[in-house]
Amino acid sequence: MVGSRSSVRWVLAGLVAMGAVFLVGCTPSHPQSTFDAQGPVAQRQLEMFVILIWVSAFVFVTVGGALLYAVIRFRRRRAGDLPRQIHGNKKLEIAWTLAAVGVLAFIAVPTVSLAFYVDNPPEAEALDIRVVAHQWWWEFHYPELDLVTSNELHIPVGKQINLTLESEDVIHSFWVPKLAGKMDIIPGRQNEMWLMAETAGTFFGQCAEFCGIAHANMRFRVIAQPEEEFVGWVNDQREVPEAPTGLAKRGAEVFISKGCLACHAIDGTIARGTLGPDLTYVGSRTTLAGGILDNDPGGTNLGRWLRDPEEIKPGNIMSRQAAVYRDLSLALEEEEIGALVAYLQSLK
């Protein structure tokens, strides 16, 4: 008796937990909700999902209902009371085989049509962007605009964006739930996809394929801007940052003397590293460290990141490289961190 009561409790707890997961997962207000499509690709993928969920619900209710009916209708009422025993039924076998074929054929029509839609960008005119995935950050190249940026993909609203996806190391996956995805990124080959944002805003993206210890921290933002704002951003990114002065000048020296230049590039300086993100305009980005920290104007988070990157993003390559090249830490003095923050914040 006690056993059955506690199992009822477990079942109830399970149902409540399932309900909570369902509610949390389905709220369109979540920054990564697929229920809040903001572009045509995500919209079509959402419609496909809705079709599938209704067909699955229909199959579940039909099969579950038939099972429940059989369990109740043919239950044992008295000891030794067996219903009529039969073996095989050709009509039934054919019926449910055809029913399954019918359901699959019904689903196949929108599935195939969606596959072609996602694979064939509709417009001839588009902005091409090359995405390079790294452990654990994103690099975005704009070949026509001669621009490179990291972890923040600026795009104009209402324009088709054709993406070419490449990996520098292992398998990653590109996913912006409100715009499009997912598309796997396989080392040694180029994958392609397209997307479009119909509204201006910042959309959260992340890597959706386990790619090592910091996979969960491999995030990015898509910043969709009205055309003129986007052009403004492009122009800002093309201006060579002013030569640093004061504390920032001291930071530029630390950047060279402490070896930051081995992995990072900054236009207009001798820094040409390609292992880490290009930092030419790092001061203009809204986030740091693969999109996991706000780049606050005061530089508090940048200071935290430089002081102990391992604490913020366990497994990150910067800590590892620092350990290889220096004595097991970034080993920066507080004064040097302050100078570096001033310098990097000035790069915009």
Using CB under 6 A as the criterion, which residues of the chain lie in contact with ligand CUA when the complex forms?
A: 133, 136, 172, 207, 209-211, 215, 218
Least separation in angstroms between residue 203's CB and ligand CUA is 18
Q: Which residue has the tokens 């990072």?
A: 264
Nearer to ligand CUA, 214 or 330 (CB): 214
Nearer to ligand CUA, 136 or 194 (CB): 136
Q: CA 289, CA 334: separation in Å to the nearest integer?
A: 20
Least separation in angstroms between residue 320's CB and ligand CUA is 16
Least separation in angstroms between residue 171's CB and ligand CUA is 8
Least separation in angstroms between residue 173's CB and ligand CUA is 7
Least separation in angstroms between residue 133's CB and ligand CUA is 6
Nearer to ligand CUA, 151 or 346 (CB): 151
H helices, E strands: number in the chain: 9, 12
Nearer to ligand CUA, 219 or 258 (CB): 219
Nearer to ligand CUA, 51 or 171 (CB): 171
Least separation in angstroms between residue 138's CB and ligand CUA is 9
Least separation in angstroms between residue 347's CB and ligand CUA is 26
**Closest of 329, 275, 278 to residue 307, by C-alpha:** 329
Least separation in angstroms between residue 172's CB and ligand CUA is 3
Nearer to ligand CUA, 165 or 339 (CB): 165
Nearer to ligand CUA, 45 or 135 (CB): 135
3-state secondary structure the chain: CHHHHHHHHHHHHHHHHHHHHHHHHHCCCCCCCCCCCCCHHHHHHHHHHHHHHHHHHHHHHHHHHHHHHHHHHCCCCCCCCCCCCCCCCHHHHHHHHHHHHHHHHHHHHHHHHHHHHHHCCCCCCCEEEEEEEECCEEEEEECCCCEEEECEEEEECCCCEEEEEEECCCCEEEEECCCEEEEEECCCCCEEEEECCCCCEEEEEEECCCCCCCHHHCEEEEEEECHHHHHHHHHHHHCCCCCCCHHHHHHHHHHHHCCHHHCCECCCCCCECCCCCCCCCHHHCCEECCCCEECCCCCHHHHHHHHCHHHHCCCCHHHHHHHHHCCCCCCCCHHHHHHHHHHHHHCC
Nearer to ligand CUA, 258 or 313 (CB): 313
Least separation in angstroms between residue 220's CB and ligand CUA is 10
CB 40 within 8 A of CB 198: yes
Q: CA 139, CA 177: separation in Å to the nearest integer?
A: 19
Nearer to ligand CUA, 139 or 336 (CB): 139
